[in-house]
Structure 1
Amino acid sequence: MHEDVLLVLGLLFIMLLLVMLSQRLRISYPIFLVLGGLALSLVPGLPRIVIDHELIFLIFLPPLLYEAAWYTSWHDFWRWKRPIVLLAFGLVFFTSTIVAYVSRAMIPGFTLPLGFLLGGIISPPDAVAATSVLKGIKVPRRITTILEGESLINDASSLIVFRFALAAVVSGTFVWQQAVGTFLLVSSMGLVVGLAVAQLFYFIHRYLPTTPSINTALTFIAPYSMYLLAEEFHFSGVLAVVSGGLLMSYHSHRVFDANTRLQSTSVWASVGFVLNGLVFILIGLELPVAVEGLGSYSLQQAIIYSLVISVIVIVIRLAWMYPAAFVPRWFSSIRASEPSPGWQGTLILGWAGMRGVVSLASALSVPLLLSGGQAFPQRNLILFITFVVILVTLVFQGLTLPAIIRFTRVSENDTRMPADEQEAGIRLRLRAAALAHMGQHYTTDMRENELIRSLHQRMHAEAQRTGNLLEALDYDDSKRQALKRYHQVLLDVLRVQREELLLLRREGRFEDEMLRHQEAQLDLDEAKISHMPH
């Protein structure tokens, strides 16, 4: 037990060191962590680490999906729903089909169900890797939105393909009509479960006497509840977490106060960072497990198969992107509603198909034995191919993606205002709302407000000079009452500005990211007022 705890702590410490080193070398940390884990796996004498797939699916996947859904802009997601759906469903099924037939033709002993199993495993890209590579690089918001939206639902589609293919391998039969019907049931009921559980947590946050700590803890309970309940009934736990996370994010501005948002944002940022970091270093550590047990295949054969399939996966995505981006633009309605992505944006989206945690977890979840007790056919080869595909796409594409972006010289081709204009527009609306409210509800002469503000500044100066806050508060009762009233006016103005932010969010004129930034500023202002002496 103690050895396991020390191992986890050691991995966490090494992960943090590698992240700091990646920042110094300006390399995306998922790439650096995978390479670091790969190097550690080759060190003789270190303990072998075997990852339980249930650990990834249960411990890592729900909170990471929930966090991604929480910070997804619903307006942007809906705006780019067509390319997102084409990538998340169309490309996943297309990739799985091509990989299935190619692997059956290329690899001796590989059947079509095994090919679909492998295709379902390696078809979904990992958005954490892509967004971390794109971090700090100026790319159109449209690209990051599509990548994030794709990652939210392509995990569900790929896992459904994987589930059906696994059933076909075990049973030896596969019926397309039954698979389609089951797919629709599993997907739709996963959405229903996620929305139902989110509604329950919305009621708890909204109507029960919670605290910031309780609210933060509930946000961690919610994704596990959604995932486990959906999987208990054999529905899509991934879609349950995604739909529930989107609903809770949409209502968060109504149910959470400033202290809750500040606390939960900090906690989730730390937890999400640790979970992502551990997952990527564990991917690299799985090399010995992937190499072992290749059976009749030599290591050289396995590497050749893996590299061929890696190239096919990359080419399939690039080949899919251009028809999916430009063929729908033959319709005038789409041309009117969506600006052209250009060849540059399409190339970047095509090159950002890096695989990650879901692919590894799916490969590890392939059972060791069939129901009759026989060894699962080609399991170790599937695991090895998955590992190489992750390594090639993550390292090769991840390291070259910044160069691709510089080469394309992609620019924002959008009808929305630039970020600085949006920020100025939001602030103007908030100040106008505050002034209108003050003019309607407060008739105090501005000189009185200046007196209160001056009093407040003198109190803080006295507190800093003497180091004794009680001495700074030694004013007569009338001044204390004036200061208390001033604080109440400020809180009232912040409340009005929050209501204006909700109105701006419904209007959809400004990006959610800009609105979240301004909301965070209001939260900080409220926290400052709450800690001022009264």
Structure 2
Amino acid sequence: MEAHFQIFLILLAVLAGTALIARRANIAPAILLMLAGIGLAFVPGMPAFALPPELVLLVVLPPLIYSSSVAMSWREFKRNLRPIVLLAVGCVIFTASMVATATHTLLGLPWSLGFLLGAIVAPPDVVAPLAIARRLHLPRRVMVILEGEGLANDATALILYRFAVAAIMTGTFSFPVAAGEFAAIVVGEIAFGIGVGWLMLRARHYSRDPQVEITLSLLTPYLAYWIPEHVGGSGVIATVACGLYMSWNGPLWISSATRLQGVFFWDLVVYLIEGMLFLLTGFQMRLIYEKSKAFPLDEIMIATALVVAIVVIARFAWTFPATILPRVLSPSLRARDPLPPWQQTFIIGFTGVRGTVSLATALALPLTLSSGEPFPYRDEILFVAFGVIFFTLIGLGLTLPPVVRWLGVGQEGRAEHVHEHEQEIAARRETLDRALQSLETMTNDRELSDEVVRLLRARHEVRANQLPESLNPDDYDASALGIELTRELIGVERKTIHVMLRDGKITDETRRRIERDLDLEEASLANREYGHVPL
């Protein structure tokens, strides 16, 4: 236990240091974290640590899926449901089939094991490519499709994985039965996830305590995930449905205090989980390397190269026809949703990075069959899965930024961001105007004193003056300078209250209340600054 805790502390230190280096080098943290984990695994004296698959599938995966689902817009998810389903279901099944066909035809792997390997390496990871894509200002729809696919493709892969393992363990497989079970799992988990969201949202609303509400929010993904997973489902679809329900209905039921504290809590949780996952994924290299000594290295490298090539090519082979054919076959769809630029489709096909779910499912393979014999090709499958993760993360992750610049996709994304910010300014002005109208009504109906009205009008004027008139460079520079100077003034206030506390003029409790107001104002500045886009 002490050795494991020491490893945990070392990993936390490496996580913080690597994240700082990644920010300065402008490289996706996931790439450096995985490389750091590999390097750390071979440090002399470092004990080997096998990543428990149940830790990923039952403990780590639910909050990651849930947080991404809550952050996803239900309206945009519904609007892009067709391409999301085509990728999350169709592309995963197609990739698994291509891997099975290639490994059976070229390497002589049995069909059942080929489909098992395909199910393991088929689902792309959403963390690393999205972390890169957000910095590259990809078009909004591309981001929504990638994020929506990342939410649902794990469910398809896990269901295929369980079907394949069951077929290998029992020696039998029925496609009609499997298809019926798949449909039942999807429908049942959607209904269950919505039910969990409905129940937990009301429990949080009636608790009216931020600490209790945040605790319930942490329990929500496990409740949505564990019960369907325990009865034979995947748990992923239920968690996604629950998160989307919370995303759409939560703003009317969750208090502002809970929302402010919950954002910081979940940001930290997701940051630690994602960072530790990539570190521990790299940390498995030592264990996998030791296992690889039992079989010819050239054969396993050829198998890894083949599967890497198949998963990359299969995604392109699916993405372009899935984008073009529905519009060719449906004139109404073509009129309603014209064919997007080929560059966007190419970027979607290029982001096929594999991640920790593939490694966790490979590690979760049984050691023996029901007959007691060793599970066939288990170590080889584990090595190939790790190789696919490594080469897609490093290869596709590092080359995605230059590819985006070469295709010029980022320019469209920046233009969309500017338009979105203009809409935001207009929405803020409309809400302020509506509030001012309500203030006039309150003044007439409630006979408010001049002092109260003056204070309320001053609040309104301060918020209105913070909004830029437009997004032209002069207004942007003035707004940015105003934010910078406001930060300096807040810094002066912080130093002043520290001196006053030191001199005994105020108590610690008073200092904390003043600091909280300053913290909220500074967080508001950061929120305003995030929306600004220099032209």
Which category of TM-score, normalised to the shorter sequence, fits these structures? 0.7 to 0.9
1:97 matched to 2:66: no
Superposed, which structure 2 residues align to 1:26-425 within 5 Å? 26-108=26-108, 110-206=109-205, 208-294=206-292, 297-330=295-328, 331-410=330-409, 411-412=411-412, 418-425=419-426
Note the C-alpha offset of 1:452: 4.2
Q: Relative to structure 1, is the Cα distance of residues 340 and 451 closer, same or farther in structure 2, using a 3 angstrom cutoff?
A: same
Note the C-alpha offset of 1:447: 5.8
Name whichever of 302-311 and 230-239 sits farther off: 230-239
Q: Counterpart of 2:513?
A: none
Q: Distance in 1 between matches of 2:347 and 2:24?
A: 25
Contact kept in structure 2, 1:187 and 1:236, CA below 8 Å: no
Q: Counterpart of 1:15?
A: 15
TM-score by length of structure 1 reads 0.83
Q: Relative to structure 1, is the Cα distance of residues 252 and 45 closer, same or farther in structure 2, using a 3 angstrom cutoff?
A: same
Note the C-alpha offset of 1:42: 2.5
* 1:204-234 deviation per Cα after TM superposition (whole angstroms, max 9, x unaligned): 112x233111111111011111111112221
Note the C-alpha offset of 1:454: 11
Note the C-alpha offset of 1:357: 1.4
Q: Distance in 1 between matches of 2:200 and 2:425?
A: 35
Q: Distance in 2 between matches of 1:79 and 1:315?
A: 27
Q: Counterpart of 2:441?
A: 440
Q: Distance in 1 between matches of 2:276 and 2:416?
A: 39
* 1:274-295 deviation per Cα after TM superposition (whole angstroms, max 9, x unaligned): 0000000111111122233347
Identity of aligned residues (%): 36
| Aligned residue type for 1:66 | Y
| Aligned residue type for 2:26 | R
| Aligned residue type for 2:389 | I
Q: Secondary structure at the match of 1:442?
A: helix
Q: Distance in 1 between matches of 2:140 and 2:233?
A: 33
Q: Distance in 1 between matches of 2:438 and 2:352?
A: 49
| Aligned residue type for 2:223 | S
Contact kept in structure 2, 1:63 and 1:223, CA below 8 Å: yes
Note the C-alpha offset of 1:240: 1.2
Q: Relative to structure 1, is the Cα distance of residues 158 and 469 closer, same or farther in structure 2, using a 3 angstrom cutoff?
A: same
Q: Distance in 1 between matches of 2:454 and 2:341?
A: 58
Contact kept in structure 1, 2:442 and 2:448, CA below 8 Å: no
Q: Distance in 2 between matches of 1:198 and 1:138?
A: 32
Q: Relative to structure 1, is the Cα distance of residues 455 and 21 closer, same or farther in structure 2, using a 3 angstrom cutoff?
A: closer
Q: Distance in 2 between matches of 1:188 and 1:112?
A: 29
Contact kept in structure 1, 2:196 and 2:224, CA below 8 Å: yes
Contact kept in structure 1, 2:139 and 2:416, CA below 8 Å: no
* 1:311-368 deviation per Cα after TM superposition (whole angstroms, max 9, x unaligned): 1110111111111112222222222322432111011111111010111111111111
Q: Distance in 2 between matches of 1:417 and 1:334?
A: 28
Contact kept in structure 2, 1:292 and 1:380, CA below 8 Å: no
| Aligned residue type for 1:322 | F
> Gaps (5+ residues) in structure 1?
474-516, 522-534
Note the C-alpha offset of 1:161: 0.7
Q: Counterpart of 2:2?
A: 2
| Aligned residue type for 1:423 | E
Note the C-alpha offset of 1:415: 9.2
Q: Distance in 2 between matches of 1:235 and 1:453?
A: 54
Q: Distance in 1 between matches of 2:278 and 2:207?
A: 39
* 1:121-166 deviation per Cα after TM superposition (whole angstroms, max 9, x unaligned): 1111111111111132121011111000001110000111111011
Note the C-alpha offset of 1:455: 11
Q: Counterpart of 1:25?
A: 25
Contact kept in structure 1, 2:37 and 2:283, CA below 8 Å: yes
Q: Relative to structure 1, is the Cα distance of residues 423 and 54 closer, same or farther in structure 2, using a 3 angstrom cutoff?
A: same
Contact kept in structure 2, 1:193 and 1:229, CA below 8 Å: no
Name whichever of 161-170 and 226-235 sits farther off: 226-235
Q: Distance in 2 between matches of 1:61 and 1:426?
A: 36
Q: Distance in 2 between matches of 1:425 and 1:36?
A: 46
Contact kept in structure 2, 1:189 and 1:236, CA below 8 Å: no
Note the C-alpha offset of 1:383: 0.5
Q: Distance in 2 between matches of 1:454 and 1:81?
A: 45
TM-score by length of structure 2 reads 0.83
Q: Secondary structure at the match of 2:14?
A: helix
Q: Relative to structure 1, is the Cα distance of residues 469 and 315 closer, same or farther in structure 2, using a 3 angstrom cutoff?
A: same
Q: Distance in 1 between matches of 2:454 and 2:166?
A: 76
| Aligned residue type for 1:298 | P
Contact kept in structure 1, 2:120 and 2:358, CA below 8 Å: yes
* 1:24-57 deviation per Cα after TM superposition (whole angstroms, max 9, x unaligned): 1111000111111111222232110101100111
Q: Secondary structure at the match of 1:203?
A: helix
Q: Distance in 1 between matches of 2:285 and 2:455?
A: 67
* 1:254-293 deviation per Cα after TM superposition (whole angstroms, max 9, x unaligned): 1111110000000000010000000001111111222333
Q: Distance in 1 between matches of 2:141 and 2:251?
A: 24
Q: Distance in 2 between matches of 1:366 and 1:118?
A: 11
Note the C-alpha offset of 1:436: 2.1
